[in-house]
Structures are given as structure tokens and as C-alpha cells.
Amino acid sequence: MSAPNTSPPSSSSLTAPSLTTSSDGFLLHGEPFRIISGAMHYFRVHPDQWADRLRKARLMGLNTVETYVPWNLHQPEPGTLVLDGILDLPRYLRLARAEGLHVLLRPGPYICAEWDGGGLPSWLTADTGIRLRTSDPRFTDALDRYLDLLLPPLLPQLAANGGPVIAVQVENEYGAYGDDRAYLEHLAEAFRTRGVGELLFTCDQADPEHLAAGSLPGVLSTGTFGSRIPESLERLRAHRPEGPLMCAEFWIGWFDHWGEPHHVRDAADAAADLDRLLSAGASVNIYMFHGGTNFGFTNGANHDHAYEPIVTSYDYDAALTESGDPGPKYHAFREVIARHAPVPEEPAPAAGPKLPPRVVELSDRAPLLPHVGVLAEPVRVDADPVTMEELGRHAGYALYRTTLPVSGDGVLRFTGGVGDRAQVFVDGAPVGVLERERHEEALPVRVPRTGATLDVLVENMGGVNYGPRIGAPKGLLGPVTFDGTALHGWDCHPLALDTVDPVPFAPVADSPPEAGPAFHRGTFEVGTPADTFLSLPGWTKGQAWINGFHLGRYWNRGPQRTLYVPAPVLRPGTNELVLLELQATTESRVHLTDTPDLGPVKP
């Protein structure tokens, strides 16, 4: 959808903000107000469940909810704006208002959030010359054009216009990244000149250098921390001698990478720190109140010493679990909040219904390699292979295909490595896997004949969401050689997998077993839809869809062992489950269970 063609108001013509500051706190419409907020990202929750989660936020005692806004989803291509389905932010804001909740809006443009690319769109980050998150005109011009589209539909949701949004964040923990004051000033003015008159704030880790680099005069500074409450508040007060004290991200859990234990935090410990915050008179935004799920290909990754992709679940050991059930922190926090602010007299919500456990037989199959042309037309590259970005693909997979000029034993060398995981096949037979996180670039292989087909299936495991490697390319990252001879003449298939409808399934009995990746399909019956969890014992790595809804990645590397299936994804009657299993499997069934399994916890 496009924004109406209207001239932006001048800064001097803006309506006075509904939320203001005093020497030591907030005023809402002129009355003392303390923000007791919880983070919940609409884009990580099925839209048919937004109202339920918002109600549970109010019942815990929250008066406000907070959400990021992912630029990369709302603007997948320059000049576009997507505001429907799981991205219908105006609807989410209206539901918050209907529940009596205020909203802290964090539109970035950078959000981190353990989200693909930190929320920056790949069409922008693919420009290797651009200086991200700076006053580089190439960056600010793209940002301005995005805000021209994004903000007009949101202006009715500002508190001054009767909506729930009482404050808007400028950037996100910018002091940990840079010190370009002109960029921050540009962004603040961009909000103002487009009609955002509500309170602006920045947030940074409670570190003097970060706070100094990430703050702006006339814009409220807030901190992010999960412990050492007195020390963190003291640093915040030293930075700004007057005004409200606020922890804009009170970390009560943490996220998980594939291959590490599941992170949890003791509920009593987190509740004690929440009590310390509120006892000090501070405002708070609990991160996360409800974490949700990295559906589809939306998870991010970190890359410090090694590349570490983030799992599908964003449960975060939050107060409300991934499936929306009150966890131990929910009840502990409710008790703490009740000591400092009114809590609804209604009882705390109970856990939601779950689908009775069952087994799903996967009776149909379609190998990927022989049918890749059905899913994506090849892009012919006569010389060296190109990256996924050069193929116009920002998520999913790319299959690279060529022929090998000689037979015999030799070494395939992938100059520059792969982004992020490559499965290699010779004449359809698997010969090895290369992973970015292990810095692997070479693979010994045996080529059975001259002219054998070489297939390289590369998976984008998630865009880096923090630090200088945001926008790192995916796919094959340089020339490929076999014993020193460059391999040219590639057919490159960019696999978006936005839909699996074209997959030519056949009954398993009619589909000969394949050692490589394959799609598997089965059906199951549902009476009354309810939440469930997909468990895949015996399966290795891949993607899962139910009724065309992309649940996300699974991987037996763990820690996550089940995928959350929201009740609205299901329908009464027959339901379809599709898996893309990347490795060979002898299994023909999966399980739907009533209990999530996010893996062993970190000691």
C-alpha cells in the first residue's frame, strides 16, 4: 500500500506530546505516570493471536507494550510498503488501544532484535559502498523515502490523535555502534517533520561511553540492562542529572543459537530485580514480555569470532511463553507489579488449550535436485558463480549447478567460503557439507566421470543482526575450482520457497529414495484447532510448513527440538504438513505434541 500524497507538517506545527517529562518522572496528559511496559513484537506473533497476548499483558499489570518495526519486512523492495497480515501494524496498535494499553514504538531504522539483518533491508545492505547507520546520504535518502511511506498510516495511532503511541524511539542502542551525531539529528528531525510530535527517546546500554555517543539533546535517554540495578540506574542518572529513569530493555531471559543450550533465568531472580527497579521509582520495559517466533526465514545471527545463527523460537524465557501461556515469571512479575501499581482484579489467565498428541504419516515425496527447475528458473552465469544477493534473493536457498571437467580424486575449493551452509553433490550423491561458522573452504571429492554434475545447495541461515557484518553476502562467495581449475558455466536457481505448491509430489512407493534433499508431505485431521508443537525425531535439518504457513527451520543440532504451531494456522478437517528435509532420512512420520521442547538449559 502507498501513503497518501500529503505535505509533512513543520516541526513548529506539531501537536504537543501526550507524554512529557518532569524533573524525576513522566507526566501523561499532565498527570504523574510510570511506564510499566513489556516487549511483544507483532511480527513474531500470529495476527489472530494479537488480542489474546495484549489482554494477557494487561492482566499481568502492564500499562504499556513495546514493539520494534522491521524495515526489511515492511519494505521488501524500494518504493513499496507492506501493511497487511502479520505486518498490519495499524491494526495491532488499534487492538492495543482497545485493551487500554499504551505503546512504545521503536521503528529503528535498525532494530537488532536478533532479527534477520537487524531489520535493515537486504536491497540496501547489498550496496557494499553504503555506510549503514550514518549520515551517508545514500543511507538517509533511503530511510527518508521509507519513512515517507511508513509514517502517514501510523499518525492516527499517536496519542495526540487518540491512538496508543505515547513515545517513539530514535535508532536503537546506537552508542554501541557509532557516534554520528548528525545522523541521529537527521532521524529525530525526520520523525518531527513527518508529524510525530510524541516524546522521542534513545536507548543505550548503561555504559557512560555508549550513553554519550547514543544520546541527543532534547531527547530522553534510557538504559538497557538486566541486572546490577542500582549501579545501572546510577550511571543513567550520572548521564542525565534530571528527568525520568527508565530501563527500556530489562532483560529477563536471552536468545539461543543453534548448537548451544537453551537460556533461562530464574523467575525469583528476575522478579527481585524488577522490584528493585520499581522501588527506585524507575519506569521499565520488560524484554521480553512475550517473545514469539522467528517464522519463516526471519531469524538473525551473530558473528563475532564465528558465525552463530539464531534458532526459530524466540521464547526468550519470557513472562509469556512462545505459545502464549503464563510462565513462572508471569506470576512472579504480577506480584511485584501489584506492590507498586494497580493490577486488574481479574484472575491471571490459564494456559491455552492444546491439540491432542498424534502421529502424522508423510506419504508423499519429491526430491529437490531433479525438480529444482519447477521451483525456480535458472540464472545462467558464464564465469564464476555469483552471490544470492546478485541473484536477487535475500533469504532461503540457492542451488548452483555446473559440470566437472575431469574425473578422479581432487579438491573442490570455494574461494571466500560459503554463506552460510553448503551441501555438495556429485551426480546427485552427497559428498560433503561446508559451513561458514567453521571457516570451511575446501572439500576432497571423487568425481566418477568427466562431465559429472556438481550441485551446491547453499542455505542462508540468517542475516547478521549486530555489529559491522550486517549485510554480509550469502551463497557462493567467490570462484570455485577443482584441483586448481576454475569451474565456469553455472546455472543458479534462487529458491525463495515462498510457496511449496509447485512441488511435484508422488506417493512414496512411486518415488525412489534419494540421498539428497527432498520434500515430504502428509495430512492429518483436526476437530477443533488448538496450539500444538511439531516434533521431528529422526529428522535432521530443514523447513516446515502447515497449510502453507512457514513455521521455520528445524535442526537436530538443537537446542530447540519442537516447532510451535499456532492454532490459527490449523483448520477444522484436513490439514497439510510439508517438510523440506535437507539430509537423507529413513523416517516417514512426525509427531504433534502438546508440550514444547526447547532443549537442555544452560547450567
Annotated catalytic residues are 173, 249
Q: What is the DSSP letter of 472?
A: -
Query: Which region holds residue 374: left if phi is over 0, alpha if psi is between -120 and 50, else beta?
Result: alpha
Contact predicate 544/577, CB 8 Å:
yes
Distance CA 327, CA 500 (A): 35
Cell 529513569 -> residue = 245
Distance CA 69, CA 81 (A): 12
Buried b (16+ CB within 10 A) or exposed e, 475-514: bbbbebbbeeeebeebbbbbbebeebeebebeebeebeeb
Count the residues in the chain.
603
**3-class SS string, 285-348:** EEEEEECCECCCCCEEEEECCCEEEECCECCCCCCECCCCCECHHHHHHHHHHHCCCCCCCCCC
Distance CA 392, CA 34 (A): 47
- The H or E element containing residue 89 is helix 89-98
- Three-state secondary structure call for residue 562: strand
Contact predicate 316/289, CB 8 Å:
no
Distance CA 596, CA 603 (A): 20
Distance CA 307, CA 414 (A): 17
Distance CA 568, CA 46 (A): 8
